[in-house]
Structure formats: C-alpha cells, structure tokens
Amino acid sequence: MSEVRYTDQHEWVRVDGGEATVGITKFATEQLGDVVFVELPEAGRKVGAGGEAAVVESVKAASEVYAPLSGEVTASNAALTDDPAKVNADPEGEGWFFKIRLADAGDFAKLMTRAQYDEFVKGL
C-alpha cells in the first residue's frame, strides 16, 4: 500500500515506486471554495521541491500548487481541465493534479504524515 505525505502548503503526495501523484488537500479546497479553473504542468517539465508547479483558481482566490518533491512531470490530470470541480469533489483521489518521476525518493520522508498534517491544520 502506498503512503501519503503532506506539505505545509496543503499539497499531498502519494508515492508508488519511483513516481509520485500530487494534489491539494481537502483542507485546501475548503479554504478555496468552488474550484473553477486549473492550470497544470506539461509532461517533461522539471520541478523543484517547493517550486510552483500548477495553479488553481476558485470563486474566492487563485493559488499556486507547489511541487512537494523534485522531479520531472510525467502526466497531468487532463480531466480537471474540463471539470475542475473534481478537485472539490475528491481532492485526494480523482482530483489529483500531476505525477512526477522522483529525483530523490528520500525527500518523501521529510514531509508530514497524516497525523502531523492534521495537527498542523488544527493550529490554523
């Protein structure tokens, strides 16, 4: 079973082998409100941990989505282009944003566990 980790910018990442799937958390979608547009990275783009990778716009605001790990984008969730509401409906499932081939899988352990993330958002 794959493990999910979280960033302090409210991204989640699930690693399977050498590839990671990235999206935003339920907490993030609740703060944003209804998502109306997403701008996704193209396959082949190199991203650095903490660097801007995508954009999400809602009725309330526009926000960057940051890459939680360094690597190369291998896929984007094209379904979000036609139906950005998938992000609100299933943020940690069908609403994923992009996948990356990891540059250093060891960086995954530096991210927050679910329990750590839940504790983090309690303080917000």
Per-residue pLDDT tens over the stretch 17-70: 889 999 999 999 999 999 999 999 999 999 999 999 999 999 999 999 999 999
Count up the domains in the chain and report the number.
Answer: 1
Alpha helix locations (H) across the chain? 26-32, 79-82, 86-89, 114-122
Tens of pLDDT, residue by residue over 65-81, are: 999 999 999 999 999 99
- CATH no. for residue 67? 2.40.50.100
Segment 94-123 shows an average pLDDT of 95
On whether residue 11 sits in a domain, the answer given is yes
Give the structural domain span for 65: 4-110
Q: Do residues 107 and 84 touch, judged by C-beta distance below 8 A?
A: no
On whether residue 117 sits in a domain, the answer given is no
On whether residue 95 sits in a domain, the answer given is yes
On whether residue 65 sits in a domain, the answer given is yes
On whether residue 124 sits in a domain, the answer given is no
The token duo for 49 is: 């941990």
Beta strands in the chain (DSSP E): 4-6, 11-16, 19-24, 35-39, 46-47, 52-58, 62-66, 71-76, 98-102
User: Is 6 strand, coil or helix?
Assistant: strand
